[in-house]
């Protein structure tokens, strides 16, 4: 991989949760790693920027050995962990991934006491002030789902204040039904965050489940109707839809002959897309980078692929 080096990479703060990942192998044994949708995006974005990375991950971890291990791994990836706080006498969350023959995965979580849920509590005000003092702020549907209603109110207020100061907001509508009391609750909150977005990174399947959209085109029109300046609608193996208040485009996705694991497919696409946009590429070229990175990631097990297997950006045809 040869990243495009920029002298002044914008500061991006990604707020979310990361957990210990246990992956069930064919013989029943478990292999250990780490993962979380926002953290996955942060790692891939940091890799793409390389030495000029200004990618910050903001969360709260425990003080257990596994939390230590995870944080050291993120630092080794070039992710700025200044905004990773630690809660005394607590442990990071954990999840197990099971993958079927087609590469589709199912998740089983142990995260109810994870300290990341407390991110917007008043005890962490200094952390919050630093996290929202960034040129770009990135949240996902999972970031807001784990906070509860009070935390969501506070993070919404903090985001509104940041935008009044000229900060930009990216929202990924990643949806996990198990984290929400009802679909109606999720839909109401999503509308608040979509409306504030400068870049919307939506998945057609997630939006269909939350809002009942019948097609990716319907999702695109609904999101543009919120006044979002830039909208991306992902369709898995289908083409990516791109839309602004002026134009709409469709980008085909390269077929992958052998899918090993779809974990982090959308997260890695988001990283590639944001990298392109933050280095001055247009929406179509940025989507091509995201699509190539995502297609590479799903050919390996786990959320984070070996760094040596990252695609070469110089080999991507951006015409």
Q: Which residues are catalytic?
A: 267
β partners of residue 238: 235
Distance CA 309, CA 296 (A): 8
The Cα angle at residue 143 between residues 138 and 149, in degrees rounded to 5:
125
Give the chain's length.
Answer: 319
Torsion over CA: 44, 47, 52, 54 (sign): positive
**Residue pointed to by tokens 């990479």:** 9
Beta carbons within 8 Å of 307's beta carbon, 6+ residues apart: 1, 47, 77
Residue/partner pairs of 284-289 with CB below 8 Å, 24 or more apart: 284/242, 284/249, 284/251, 285/318, 287/232, 287/240, 287/242, 287/251, 288/251, 288/316, 288/317, 288/318, 289/48, 289/313, 289/316, 289/318
Distance CA 269, CA 111 (A): 25
278, two tokens: 């933050």
| Residue of 159, 149, 214, 219 lying closest to 179 (CA atoms) | 149
**Residue pointed to by tokens 């935008």:** 163
Distance CA 151, CA 118 (A): 8
- Residues 92 and 18: beta-carbon distance below 8 Å: yes
Distance CA 168, CA 163 (A): 6
- From residue 43, how far is each of 50, 153, 301 by CA, in Å? 10, 28, 16
């Amino acid at each position: 991989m040869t990243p495009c080096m920029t002298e002044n990479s914008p500061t991006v703060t990604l707020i979310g949760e990361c957990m210990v990942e246990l992956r069930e192998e064919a013989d029943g044994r478990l292999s250990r790693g780490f993962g979380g949708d926002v953290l996955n995006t942060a790692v891939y974005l940091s890799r793409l920027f390389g030495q000029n990375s200004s990618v910050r991950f903001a969360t709260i971890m425990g003080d257990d050995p596994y939390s230590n291990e995870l944080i050291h791994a993120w630092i080794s990836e070039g992710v700025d962990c200044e905004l990773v706080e630690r809660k005394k006498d607590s442990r990071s969350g954990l999840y197990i991934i099971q993958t079927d023959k087609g590469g589709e995965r199912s998740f089983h979580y142990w995260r109810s006491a994870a300290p990341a849920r407390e991110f917007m509590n008043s005890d962490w005000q200094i952390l919050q002030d630093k996290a929202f003092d960034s040129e770009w702020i990135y949240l996902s549907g999972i970031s807001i789902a784990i906070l509860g209603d009070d935390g969501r109110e506070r993070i919404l207020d903090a985001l509104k204040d940041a935008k009044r100061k000229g900060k930009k907001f990216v929202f990924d509508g990643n949806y996990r039904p198990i984290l929400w009391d009802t679909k109606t609750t999720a839909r109401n909150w999503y509308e608040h965050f979509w409306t504030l977005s400068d870049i919307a990174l939506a998945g057609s399947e997630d939006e269909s489940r939350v809002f009942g959209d019948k097609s990716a085109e319907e999702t695109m029109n609904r999101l543009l109707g919120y006044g979002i300046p830039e909208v991306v609608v992902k369709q898995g193996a289908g083409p990516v839809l791109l839309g602004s208040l002026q134009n709409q485009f469709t980008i085909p996705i390269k077929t992958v002959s052998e899918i090993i694991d779809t974990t982090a497919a959308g997260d890695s696409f988001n990283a590639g897309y944001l990298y392109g946009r933050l280095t001055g590429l247009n929406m179509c070229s940025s989507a091509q980078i995201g699509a190539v990175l995502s297609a590479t990631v799903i050919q390996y097990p786990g959320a984070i692929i070996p760094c040596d297997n990252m695609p070469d950006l110089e080999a991507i045809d951006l015409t």
